[in-house]
Amino acid sequence: MEELLPLEAVSATGVEWRIALPSDTLRQRVRHFEPIGHPFTLEEQAGQRVAVFKFDQLSPHQAGLLGWRAIVEVYGLKYSLKPEDVADSPALPLEFQQRYLVDDDELAMDNPKIIQAAQEAAGTETNLLRKMLKIRNYVYDRLSYSIQPRIDTPDVALERGTASCGEYVGILLALARLNGIACRTIGRYKCPPQPEKRNLPLEPDFNHVWLEFYLPGVGWLPMESNVDDVIERGPYPQRFFMGLSWFHLEIGKGISFEKLKADDLPPDVSLGDMAINHVRFQVLEELVPGKHLAMFSSPAAAPVLPSPLEPEPQPQPQPAKAKTRAKTPAKAKTPARTRTAKAKTPAQTKTPAKTKAQTKMPAQAKTQSQAPAQAQDQPNA
């Protein structure tokens, strides 16, 4: 949800404010969504749903609310895959090479320090799965988590030795891509992992991003961007290597989370100047995987996902090579169940202190987001 309250007098005409909606994936299903404050029209970008809020004019010091609320089912997911399972992987398709092995987001892949780090991280390893794990551990060894006022390029963050989740992702993307592993940024929020607090507002302190890496013949596999279980230097748990918990909420997969467009918007005005972003989660209930996951047991019942070679590939892993199982929150009373959450998901989260989030996660989630109107991309944090 966006609280429209410009810091300075700003006027604009022909305003279109776009906020991505939660995605339908193998571990996440959107049950319902609705507008908050201002009505929106629905738009599709690369197979993802986007809410479009339109204003004929925004007047100086105009205030208001705009955003969305959604109910989402979210499950934990873990792939069981061994290095020998991918020992004879086919070559990476040309379309993937052209899209996911390039520097498309200031990754400093031509920087000598990053090139050297990529060589050191992988060494002589040739197995794609072991190579990705080595790169992850290399980055984890050299960084400690720290909130930063802005996202620096991978060479700067790696030399500094501390990084936010967005900087972890940037370094991982650069090193993996230089080693021939296709990967991409995924995210938007983590619901506070407190499943026992049902029907209560849960607000994350910040937004969050992680990544997915691609194994030819298998598909896209998730990986957490930074370790939050160990202070430093390992050993590092692998439950979020090829896996995600129920509290990871994916919004606008493969597209910008928020954009602001207007006919006459001043070039120096940003989304952060126009509104305060609020996100709130609310856990509604715990779901029984045997009952609710039945909808994914057949192709006809599974969510419709884009083709692997379309703008945002989402090939499904081959059953013969990767087994998946639904996981339940650590605090769930009934281990066989997953929870439901309510989530208010905003359009902008650059300023952590101003970002709230409300989401009911594992089984259902209501998501709200409100956003003002302007034309700029909201970078991943």
Is 100 among the domain residues? yes
Is 177 among the domain residues? yes
Query: What total of structural domains would you count in the chain?
Result: 1
Within a 13 Å sphere around the CA of 251, how many CA atoms are in the beta-carbon half? 41
Is 14 among the domain residues? no
Distance between the two ends of the chain, CA-based, in angstroms?
17
In Å, the largest CA–CA distance within the chain is 62
Across the strands, what pairs with 287?
A: 338
Asked if residues 172 and 225 have their Cβ atoms less than 8 Å apart, the reply is yes
Question: pLDDT tens, 331-351?
Answer: 333 333 344 445 444 333 333
Q: Whole-structure pTM over 0.85, yes or no?
A: no
Amino acid at 53: F
Is 17 among the domain residues? no
**313 token code pair:** 């590939």
3-state SS, one letter per residue, for 69-113: EEEEEECEEEEECCHHHHCCCCCCCHHHHHHHCCCCCCCCCCCHH
Is 349 among the domain residues? no
Sign (positive or negative) of CA dihedral 261, 304, 105, 20: positive
Within a 13 Å sphere around the CA of 97, how many CA atoms are in the beta-carbon half? 6
| pLDDT at residue 293 is higher than 70 | no
Rg of the chain over all Cα atoms, to the nearest angstrom? 20
Is 261 among the domain residues? no
Is 240 among the domain residues? yes
**87 token code pair:** 């020992």
Domain with 91, as residue range(s), is 77-252
Q: What is the CATH number of the domain that holds 216?
A: 3.10.620.30
Is 89 among the domain residues? yes
Question: pLDDT tens, 142-172?
Answer: 998 888 888 999 999 999 999 999 999 999 9
Task: Look up tokens 């989401």; give the residue.
Answer: 359
Percent of the chain with pLDDT over 70: 72
Contacts of 186 (CB under 8 A, 6+ apart): 209, 210, 211, 212, 222, 250, 253
- Integer Cα distance of 295 and 344 in angstroms: 25
Question: pLDDT tens, 78-93?
Answer: 999 999 999 999 999 9
